[in-house]
A and B are shown apart, each in its own frame.
Chain A
Amino acid sequence: MPNYLVRLVQMHESFRQAELQALADVAEVSIEFVKYEEESPFCIVRLPSDAAAKTVISRSLLSQGIYELWGQGATYDALHESVKDISSAKWVQYESAPFRFTLDCFRGTRDNAQQRDIIESFSYMGFKGPIRMRDAEASFKVFEEYEEKATGPKYAYLGRFVAASGRDAKTTYDLKKRHYISTTSMDAELALVTANMALAAPGKLFYDPFMGTGGFPIACAHFGAMVCGSDIDGRSIRGTGGSARKGQTGKFDVQGNFKQYGLESRYLGAFVSDLTNTPFRLLQHSNSASRGGYLDGIVCDPPYGIREGLKVLGSRDILNEQERATHGNRYKDPGYIPPKKPYSFTAIQDDILAFAVSTLVENGRLSMWMPTANDEDVELIIPTHPCLEIVSVCVQTFNKWSRRLLTYRRRAESEVPEGALETVKKEYEKGVKADELNNFRKKYFEGFKEFERLRQEPSAEDANHKADRSKGVSGPWREKSGAN
Chain B
Amino acid sequence: MKLITLNFVTCALKSCKSSPASFPLHPRDATLEVIETDLNLAFLKNILPRLEWNELCVITAELGLPPLPSSPPTREDLVVKPEGEVAEGAEAEEEASQTAKDLHRVLLETTVKEGKLVCGNCGHEYKVMEGVPNFLLPGHLV
Contacts and interface: CB of A to CB of B under 8 A. Distances in A.
A274 B133 CA distance: 12
Contacts of A331: 138-140
B88 interface: no
Contacts of A433: none
Contacts, number: 131
A279 B10 contact: yes
B138 A268 contact: no
A291 to B, nearest CB: 7
Given A203-B46, A281-B9, A271 B135 contact: yes
A123 B30 CA distance: 74
State the main secondary structure of chain A at its contact with B. mixed
B92 interface: no
Given A234-B136, A269-B111, A279-B135, 13 more contacts: A205-B46, A226-B43, A228-B5, A271-B134, A272-B132, A273-B135, A277-B12, A279-B126, A280-B9, A281-B10, A313-B137, A323-B139, A338-B142
Contacts of B111: 269
Of listed A265, A277, A279, residue having the most chain B CB within 10 A: A279
A226 B50 CA distance: 14
Contacts of B43: 202-205, 226
B132 A279 contact: no
A58 B119 CA distance: 46
A346 to B, nearest CB: 20
B47 interface: yes
A284 interface: yes
A124 to B, nearest CB: 40
Interface of B: 1-2, 4-5, 7-14, 17-18, 23, 25, 37-38, 40, 42-43, 45-47, 50, 52, 108, 111, 125-126, 129-142
Interface residues of A, number: 48
Contacts of B137: 274, 277, 313, 338
Contact of A280 (B4, B10, B40, B50): B10
> Top 3 A-B pairs ranked by shortest CB distance?
A203-B42, A331-B138, A327-B139
Contacts of B17: 281-282, 284
B69 to A, nearest CB: 21
B138 A272 contact: no
A203 B5 contact: no
Contacts of B108: 268
A319 B135 contact: no
Nearest to B111: A269
A331 B139 CA distance: 8
A277 B14 CA distance: 7
Interface string A463-477: 000000000000000
A318 to B, nearest CB: 11
B113 to A, nearest CB: 11
A343 B83 CA distance: 60
B40 A269 contact: no
Contacts of A330: 138
A204 B45 CA distance: 10
A458 interface: no
Interface string A68-84: 00000000000000000
16 contacts: A238-B132, A266-B40, A271-B132, A271-B133, A273-B134, A280-B8, A282-B17, A284-B17, A291-B52, A313-B136, A319-B139, A323-B140, A324-B139, A328-B138, A328-B140, A338-B139
Nearest to B23: A281
A294 B9 CA distance: 11
Nearest to B119: A279
Interface in A213-272: 226, 228, 230, 232, 234, 237-238, 264-266, 268-272
Nearest to B125: A332
A314 B12 CA distance: 13
B12 A278 contact: yes
Contact of B8 (A266, A294, A296, A314): A294
A264 B10 contact: no
A284 B14 CA distance: 12
Given A284-B18, A327-B140, A338-B137, A271 B5 contact: yes
Nearest to B42: A203
Contacts of B12: 273-274, 277-279
Interface string A368-400: 000000000000000000000000000000000
